[in-house]
Chains A and B, each alone.
Chain A
Amino acid sequence: MSLPSVDEHAQKLPLEFADEHESLKITGFWMFLVTDVLIFASLFSTYAVFHNSVAAGPTADQLFKMGPVLLETLLLLTSSFTIGLGIYAMRKGQVRALMAWTFLTILLGAGFVTTEIHDFVSFAALHATWHTSAFLSAFDILVGTHGAHVTFGIFWAVTLLFQLKKHGITERTARKIYTFSLYWHFLDIVWVFIFTFVYLNGKLG
């Protein structure tokens, strides 16, 4: 039997998977995300148990304002879209477009964190801090852990922009951008569950 002939239309492996070692790091990053799911699952469980234990403090319904929450949701969903388009541009080899989409993602992420910090400060002004009740302890640690992830992601993306500027799209930088996009979309998924199970659930009463 002869070797299969080379198909002219055979699909090329994207650059981030082209090097075996770099590709292994993507699989490794998936393993990290899997463990991160466990962290958030624990925090969601804690919140599920304590979200009605308000002590003398405010209830979720009294505390949450949906305006800023909708804004945060919109910012994060859009940033997930922009980094998705960044990966699309990266696979076409368009380094400037990739950098522009990454930069836009950073701006949207910064807008998210700013809105969230503003929200937390306004809660603190109402003496609704994590000392107040079990509900607020669980709320602050869950939403705060997510916010800390997003903040870290912003700094990470800034370092990637410098690397893209210096090296362009290589097997190594492509893998780094790809793992960053996985991280960012993962945070978007976590936020969707925070939006649903914390904020919307709080309004169910």
Chain B
Amino acid sequence: MSESEQSITVDEAYEQDNDKSIKFLRPRFHAEAFPTVQIFGYVGSLVLTFAAYFLVMNHVLPVLALLIIILTLAALQAALQLGVFMHVQEGRGMAWQIIPLYLVFLIAFGMVGMSIWIMLFKSGVS
């Protein structure tokens, strides 16, 4: 519909405004004739979710090992959602959102990770 107004290309936008030394902020778009990536993302998230569920419900490993594994599976699934569905590498010119995302993941990981870690000592106290 508005195809004609849309004259600027990905490369033109990239050339227009960016610092070419920051390579990892270069946007990447993928266009496909069939939503293969989306189906892969959906099936992947289902597999990761049910893998975590069955690991926990069958108590296949010690508690701490299981907790580490299911949190890793959750982090993988977050990365899948970000990459596949949230198009984290897309942007006009530069994908600037990647820098604050790294920062906030670092803060969140530190805050929650440290809270979990400190509570591991609770059994020795009470």
Q: By the criterion CB–CB under 8 Å, are A13 and B112 in contact?
A: no
Interface size of B as a range: 35 or more
In the bound complex, how far is the Cα of B10 from the Cα of A7, in angstroms?
12
B109 to nearest A CB, angstroms?
Answer: 8
Enumerate chain A residues within 8 angstroms of B1, measured Cβ to Cβ: 93, 95, 168-170
In the complex, A196 Cα to B52 Cα: how many Å? 8
- Complex CA gap A27/B25 in Å reads 13
Whether A170 and B2, one on each chain, are in contact in the complex, defined by CB atoms closer than 8 angstroms, is yes
Q: How many of A's residues come within 8 Å of B, CB to CB?
A: 64
**Chain B residue nearest in CB terms to A37:** B104
Main secondary structure of the interface of A (DSSP, over half): helix
A-contact 0/1 string along B83-98, CB 8 Å cutoff = 0111100111000110
Shortest C-beta distance, B91 to chain A (Å), equals 7
Query: A185 at the A/B interface (Cβ < 8 Å)?
Result: yes
* A27–B96 touching, CB < 8 Å: yes
- Given the known inter-chain contacts A88-B35, A181-B85, A193-B78, please indicate yes or no for A27 contacting B119, CB distance below 8 A: no
Q: Once the chains are docked, how many angstroms separate the CA of A171 from the CA of B119?
A: 49
A40 CA to B107 CA, complexed, in Å: 12
Q: How many A-B contacts if CB must be within 8 Å?
A: 173
- B residues sitting closer than 8 Å to A (CB atoms) are 1-3, 5-6, 8-13, 29, 31, 35, 38, 41-42, 45-46, 49, 52-53, 56-57, 63, 66-67, 70-71, 73-74, 77-78, 81-82, 84-87, 90-92, 96-97, 100-101, 103-105, 107-108, 111-112, 115-116, 118-119, 122
A-side residues, CB < 8 A to B, are 7, 10-15, 17-18, 20, 23, 26-27, 30-31, 34-35, 37-38, 40-42, 44-46, 48-49, 52, 66, 70, 73-74, 77-78, 80-81, 83-85, 87-88, 91, 93, 95, 168-171, 181-182, 185-186, 188-189, 192-193, 195-197, 200-201, 203-205
